[in-house]
Amino acid sequence: MVYVMARIGRQLKVYENVRRSCTMKIRRVIFVVMIFLACLFMATAEAQQYTVTKVVVIAKPSTYTGPCPATIEFLATIFVSRPARVEYRWERSDGVMGPRESVDIRSAGKGVTTTWKVGTPRRTFTGWERLHVLAPASMISNQAAVQIKCN
């Protein structure tokens, strides 16, 4: 009987050692995975924070008097801190949103354009258009205002 009890005691010690060993391995794996995810998150956050640095839009012309509808050109410059594919869409004061578009920017900045035919004879119109950068991080440009007086 003493022999059986001693043998069971040794088996329990072996089991306890195996259990501790497995627990430590699992903890190490979880720790390594957490470190990896933290590094990945920081790299992603940094990429989003510093890729697109500025977006500026102008209207050409910004004021217009003449026959209508008038065609107004909006020119945007997207500035980046490093090469990137930038996704964007144009948004207007009348609520219209353009389609999602993309541009590959290989240097400090790149221009994109759109046009808007606007105005009704013998009326005035005031509106704006802006560029909304969607990716790699959201950023909205200034509103490029237009004033139109139609003959």
Domain ranges of the chain: 1-48, 51-150
> Would you state the CATH architecture of domain 51-150?
Sandwich (2.60)
What are 9's two structure tokens?
Answer: 């005691």
Residue 136's closest CA among 76, 78, 97?
Answer: 78
Cβ atoms < 10 Å from Cβ of 125: 19
CA dihedral 127, 53, 136, 97 (to 10 degrees): 0
Band of pLDDT at residue 29, cut at 50, 70 and 90:
low
Give the Cα separation of 71 and 60 in Å (integer). Answer: 9
Looking at residue 9, what DSSP letter applies?
H
**Per-residue pLDDT tens over the stretch 46-60:** 545 569 999 999 999
Per-residue pLDDT tens over the stretch 69-102: 999 999 999 999 999 999 999 999 999 999 999 9
97-123 mean pLDDT: 96
